[in-house]
Each structure stands twice: as structure tokens, then as C-alpha cells.
Amino acid sequence: MVWDLSRALHKKAEVETARLQVFAFQQRARAIGLMAQSHGLNGKALASELAVLPDDLLIAQLCRLTGQDQAGMVAAFQTALADAWQQLAAEQGDPTPHRLA
């Protein structure tokens, strides 16, 4: 039986990529929820509806729902993303990939 380093590295890359994608999706959904809560909207319902939208459509929908201008919404969403990252990192740990060396 031979241990295949290449195969092990590919498997590690797949696991790390999947973990980072999950974290990024959770961050985006939480940021949308935070934005909704700050405007008195249902955060869970809005996050489940908007989390899969591309950024430009997401910002447009948030502007329509909140009545805020686009530049202000982009800045507020960036702040919400940073807050969501901090919250998730505190709950789940830092998402930075684990180095082998």
C-alpha cells in the first residue's frame, strides 16, 4: 500500500475550499440578517431569500426594501459583513486555512 501525497493534498484542498465556502455563505447570510434587523425587517426570511443573489442585485433589493441610497447601502453592507465575520469567527474559530508546514 502506497501513500499518495498528491491525492492527500488534493483532498485537503477540497476540504478547505468547502469549509471556506460554507463560512463565506454563512457570513453573507448573517450580514443580510444584520442589515434586515437594523431596519426592522425579518432577518431570517430576508437572508434566506437574498443570500443567493449576486452582489449588485442584493444591494438593489436592500435599497428597495429599506429606502436607503445605493452608496450608503454598500457601505452599510460592508460593515455588516465585517461584523458577521467577527461573530462567526468567535463562534466557529478563524476560517483561515490550516497550513501543512
Domain ranges of the chain: 44-92
Provide the 8-state DSSP code for 40: T
Mean residue pLDDT across the chain: 88
Indicate the pTM of the whole model. Answer: 0.81
User: Which long-range contacts link 13-22 to residues 24+ away (Cβ below 8 Å)?
Assistant: 16/97, 16/98, 19/95, 20/95, 20/97
- Position 34 scores a pLDDT of 93
pLDDT number for residue 46: 86
Which pLDDT score, from 0 to 100, does residue 51 have?
A: 85
In angstroms, the Cα distances linking 8 to 5, 11, 13, 47 are: 5, 5, 9, 36
Dist CA 42 CA 19 (whole Å) = 27
Q: What is the pLDDT of residues 73-87, one digit of tens each?
A: 999 999 999 999 999
Q: What is the mean pLDDT of each run of 10 residues along the chain (101 residues)?
A: 80 87 93 91 86 90 90 94 96 79 54
